Chains A and B, each alone.
Chain A
Amino acid sequence: MSLSAIWSLVQTALELGVICSLTVLALFLSYSMLNVCDLSTDGCFTLGAAVGAVVAIAGHPWLSIPAAMGAGVLSGFITAVLQTRMGIDSLLAGIIVNTGLYSINIAVMGKSSLLNMNKTVTVFTKLKDALADTPLAKYYELIIALAAAALVILFLALFLRTRLGLAIRATGNNPDMVRSSSINPVFTTTVGLCVANAFTGLSGCLLAQSQKSVNIDIGSGMVTIALASLLIGQTFMGRGSIAKRAVGMVLGSVIFRLVYTIALRLNMPAFMLKLVSSVIVVLAIAGPYLKTQIPMLRKRLAAGKEAK
């Protein structure tokens, strides 16, 4: 395999990793900060992709970005209302919204489950045209992905240090304390989920436009893939400032895609992606737990031997 072929594989993994890292950053806010596992992520990712594609196809490539993020906010708002005002468990609220979004996404895509953007002007083709005949011409996808990730990280680093940001972090840490600081945890949960889902929507929008197509399954399994990336990122950069941890999220996402790419080269079939991500999540969450159980198990075994 030539060096240039390897680099092109790496570049694809980087692009995909950085675009999907926006969803990882969304989970960084909802899962790590708010302590809510937002299972509407899959549907919201597809919603962002569908809305972004429809708006771009209608001839508004730039507008597609805020439109996809706005759709994400709306989806996050509904998930938040269900769990904070309607007494629905947070996991169930996510599943309900996710299911409902399937119909909405097909409706958004004009009763179709596939939209093609081969001839559509998107933010990617805009930059591709702008960079034509420059040394950066090959990197237009990566540039957009990196710019989006940098902006989201910058936003999070600033936002999570504001009074509202601190209150959101405390909501996941100790809701009692938020209440006693005369802040309503319902409000902080709602804001947090709206912001997180805006990033998920953005992530879906960019992935669809870079692939020049959306299908209804584009977001399926995304929550597990993002969670796997989040946990990988956490093991590398789990401590320190918010900015450093957020960069770790992008790193985790890229590592996940690189490992996946290598596995594909080793003849792992592509359909294994979701199983691999599930196994990573199980290992990352169950690993530390099982490690604490080993000494107990040893004692029991030793005690059993003595009894004989």
Chain B
Amino acid sequence: MLTLSNISKTFNPGTVNEKTAISGLSLHLDPGDFVTIIGANGAGKSTLFNAIAGSFYPDTGSIALDGKDITFMPEFKRAKDIGRLFQDPMRGSAPGMTIEENLALAAGGGGWLSHVSKAETNKFRDKLALLDMGLENRMRQPVGLLSGGQRQALTLLMATMVPPKLLLLDEHTAALDPGTAEKVLALTESIVREGNLTCMMITHNMSSALALGNRTLMMDSGRIILDLKGGERNGLTVDDLLRMFKENVGKALDNDRMLLS
């Protein structure tokens, strides 16, 4: 489904602030893969997502999605096939517009001058009901009135309204309180499973990195240092992961947030 070949990206080349965020990274995802990604701060996890989503173009290498080369495709065009959620729940929806209007924009379809039809509104209401947050009765309210958790759940719905070929989740539950985070994570799992979506999820929670999905990547210094799938991934514990990190990198994992959770 997704193939990255030898991707590199260096920020501020030739200056004192030069930083190689990704170096020679290659990766292949099969359709239906649900990959969790862990790594210390600055390991290049978000940079990897930015490269896939097209926030910038890589210095070297190529990116192919579903057999099509998208290396130099503008971000807004890729968005047709790639859904994305950020840590900040405010980033995915327009606060001044109603829930219905946000969903209508995300659903796309129809001509530029078409209005939202009754059938679409009903479809939105059914989808909102699945979130079990009572949003189906608040469709005419501005999104700015929703809580962070509600907005993130709505963004998840918007990103998967038209099933994307690839769903990128960048610590999308990290800014939510634990209860809400759990709920949004459960929603994510069921939406991904039901739509059989190909999905990549960055998380700082090592146990959910192992519990969710079918493959786990560990990143450090812009490279993938561990790629766990199938039999070798089953039965792994967080302690195993920490030990493996130390063996591969030569130093302990220094991400407080990760260790505390």
Contact = CB atoms under 8 A, between A and B. Distances in A.
Contacts of A170: 94, 97, 102, 105
B115 A161 contact: yes
A162 B112 contact: yes
A167 B79 contact: no
A169 B98 CA distance: 11
A159 B101 CA distance: 13
A182 B116 contact: no
B77 interface: yes
B92 interface: yes
A81 B52 CA distance: 28
A179 interface: yes
A14 B101 CA distance: 35
A63 B108 CA distance: 37
A235 B115 CA distance: 29
A182 B105 contact: no
A182 B80 contact: yes
A166 B76 contact: no
A136 interface: no
B116 A173 contact: no
Contact of B105 (A159, A177, A185): A177
A184 B76 contact: yes
Nearest to B101: A166
Interface of B: 74-80, 83-84, 91-97, 101-102, 104-106, 108, 110-116, 158-159
State the majority secondary structure of interface residues on A: helix
A177 B96 CA distance: 12
B93 A174 contact: yes
Contacts of B96: 169, 173
Interface string A164-182: 1011011001101111111
B78 to A, nearest CB: 8
A163 B94 contact: no
User: Which A-B residue pairs are the 4 nearest by beta carbons?
Assistant: A173-B94, A182-B79, A164-B112, A182-B80
B12 to A, nearest CB: 20
A164 B104 CA distance: 11
A176 B79 contact: no
Contacts of B76: 178-180, 182-185
A181 B106 contact: yes
Given A163-B113, A181-B79, A173 B95 contact: yes
A169 B84 contact: no
Contacts of B108: 163, 181-182
A162 B115 contact: yes
Nearest to A180: B79
Contact of A163 (B84, B97, B105): B105
9 contacts: A163-B113, A170-B97, A170-B102, A174-B91, A174-B94, A177-B105, A181-B79, A182-B79, A183-B76
